[in-house]
Structure 1
Amino acid sequence: MTRPTDHTPDATRPTVSFEFFPPQTLEASFRLWETVQALAPLKPGFVSVTYGAGGTTRKLTHDAVTTIGKNYGLNVAAHLTCVDATRAETLEIIETYAQAGVTEIVALRGDPPKGAAGFQAHPEGFASSVELIEALARDGRFTIRCGAYPEPHPEAADTLADVRWLKRKTDAGASSAITQFFFEAETFLRFRDACAAEGISARLIPGILPIQSWKGARAFAQRCGAQIPAWVEDRFAAAIADGREQELSVEICAELCSRLMAEGVEDLHFYTLNRPQLTQAVCARLGVAAALVSAA
């Protein structure tokens, strides 16, 4: 089977990809399939399905990955973590994905279970994302993606430490890295320069968050270490007062993406939160939907 590769089919518009999370209720299930159906026509380079903290959505992730691939013909990258599993259990999961025709995996250390003080490797499991990537590379059946932090990970000393850890992941076999979300293009551009200085040649894909709720996005940013510029705070405060939160979200997100594209970025990965409307609107601003319509 020929593996998909990251490429830009049209220099005037980016290659987009989308992240979904597996549903845990019937209502959430309907929302996921509505989101996939709405975004599939944008012809993403790939879509990914997350893995719950502590491995809590292991079976749900597998079911979502295989269903999306089978029913929508999309290239699906399954998230896989090191949390709360032995090496044997993780290798078994890898085998089930291979048997299901999955060719891409997003290999992550993973978040600790809810309530845990921090990550603790399973005594018989993979101790880090690097070890997991090495195992996937030895397997040889997958395109391997990993995570990256354009701003310091909460457990990292500084951005350089994150860059050097990313170098270990790409040396181990990851061919591309999807970043945590950020608010300003310069954050990603500085990170890209730092990666180049460390000899990282893997493709860097900026993670983009269309903000569904400023309150929720603000809390998420604080947990993951994403710095919130004062101008973003001010603009959302004014927009919420005027009932324009969603409109501002699309405007800011599209401006961010356009700036990245102007600096040579060809791939954009959207964290959809299983709600398609804002992602659709941003993609339309970037010419993705228009390009599809004109080609029909």
Structure 2
Amino acid sequence: MKPIEISFEFFPPKTQEGIDKLRATRKELALLKPKFVSVTFGAGGSTQQGTLDTVLDMAADGLEAAPHLSCIGSSKESLRAILNQYRSNGIRHIVALRGDLPSGMGAVGELRYASELVSFIRAEHGDWFWIEVAGYPEYHPQSRSPKHDLENFARKVKAGANSAITQYFFNADAYFRFVDDARKLGVDVPIVPGIMPITNYSQLMRFSEMCGAEVPRWVARRLESFGDDREAIRAFGLDVVTGLCQRLVDQGVPGIHFYTLNAATATKAICERLGV
């Protein structure tokens, strides 16, 4: 059986302690030989320099590093400058997103949608960048309807994306249905499932509320029942997420992208159980 390709998402640290922790995390996870690592980009460009610094630091360590790039709140001129900076540093992989406006910021920017950002990158740089876009198996929380959301997804892929990474989910059937529906709209690029390890109940529920990911009731109730028993939460979370990943691998997914939250332990344990 072909080995499963894995990739990891990190966020740019804001303190020296955070930088040191991330370096230790990525050193540990690099042993799993990820296909690439991605680095998030703050709302409205708030971590632009941190993203660049983190990406270059990782690239210097021999990792293929893919910065997130969001168009909301950005001008074409500022996006052009960022893209040129990445290209001049030999970065060839981009995660292109619409992004979110920070609270209090009123200007949407010149590009309103991820499809427009993908088209802009292609117009400026041809095939230099491998472009990832986001997919939402349980639909984007701001979408008008599932149909509209799927059409938006197909639009940004057809604008020139090479592959897609999904929002995290815990319902494998939602992912498989999303892929099937996307294929019917002519989407033929790899759609890689995004996976969130479970290590903290309140954090998981907060993130899921924000991004529209559904935590199955039985999972939420079990996690809640453990109270402050972090070890029980971690052990149960490891079983649940490994089971989800195993089903995805058995069904032949093109890879798995882990949202690490800059920590190695849970992601590494899942990968080891999967035989990565």
TM range (shorter): over 0.9
Matches within 5 A, 1:163-242: 163-240=150-227
Q: Does 1:245 align with 2:233?
A: yes
**Which residue of the partner structure matches residue 266 of structure 1?**
254
**Which residue of the partner structure matches residue 104 of structure 1?**
93
SS at match of 2:142: coil
2:52 to 49, 62, 69: 62
RMSD over aligned Cα, in angstroms?
A: 1.4
The CA deviation at 1:227 is 1.6
Matches within 5 A, 1:22-171: 22-70=12-60, 72-115=61-104, 120-122=107-109, 125-138=110-123, 139-140=125-126, 141-171=128-158
The CA deviation at 1:274 is 0.2
Q: Matches of 1:52 and 1:277 in 2, distance apart? A: 25
Native 8 Å contact 2:166 2:193 kept in 1: yes
The CA deviation at 1:239 is 3.9
SS at match of 1:179: strand
> Structure 1 length as normaliser, TM-score?
0.89
Query: C-alpha offsets along residues 251-284 of structure 1, whole Å, 9 cap, x if unaligned?
Result: 1111000011111113000000001100000000
Q: Does 1:282 align with 2:267?
A: no
Native 8 Å contact 2:190 2:254 kept in 1: no
The CA deviation at 1:154 is 1.4
Q: Matches of 1:49 and 1:273 in 2, distance apart? A: 11
> Structure 2 length as normaliser, TM-score?
0.95
Q: Matches of 1:112 and 1:277 in 2, distance apart? A: 32
Query: C-alpha offsets along residues 147-169 of structure 1, whole Å, 9 cap, x if unaligned?
Result: 11111211102222221111111
Q: Matches of 1:114 and 1:38 in 2, distance apart? A: 35
SS at match of 2:270: helix
Residue 14 of structure 2 aligns to which amino acid in structure 1? Q
Query: C-alpha offsets along residues 123-156 of structure 1, whole Å, 9 cap, x if unaligned?
Result: xx22221111001112121001111111121110
Native 8 Å contact 2:191 2:254 kept in 1: no
The CA deviation at 1:230 is 1.1
Q: Matches of 2:148 and 2:24 in 1, distance apart? A: 40
The CA deviation at 1:241 is 6.4
The CA deviation at 1:229 is 1.3
The CA deviation at 1:115 is 4.5
Q: Matches of 2:29 and 2:104 in 1, distance apart? A: 34
Q: Matches of 2:274 and 2:72 in 1, distance apart? A: 37
Q: Matches of 1:211 and 1:198 in 2, distance apart? A: 33
The CA deviation at 1:235 is 2.2
The 3 A distance-change label for structure 1 pair 240 and 184 is: farther
Long gaps (5+) in structure 1 = 1-9, 289-296
**Which residue of the partner structure matches residue 5 of structure 1?**
none
**Which residue of the partner structure matches residue 3 of structure 1?**
none
Residue 78 of structure 1 aligns to which amino acid in structure 2? P
Q: Matches of 1:60 and 1:46 in 2, distance apart? A: 18
The 3 A distance-change label for structure 1 pair 97 and 205 is: same
The CA deviation at 1:42 is 0.7
Q: Matches of 2:90 and 2:102 in 1, distance apart? A: 29
Q: Matches of 1:160 and 1:201 in 2, distance apart? A: 18
SS at match of 2:31: helix
Q: Matches of 1:239 and 1:160 in 2, distance apart? A: 38
The 3 A distance-change label for structure 1 pair 248 and 129 is: same
The CA deviation at 1:212 is 2.3
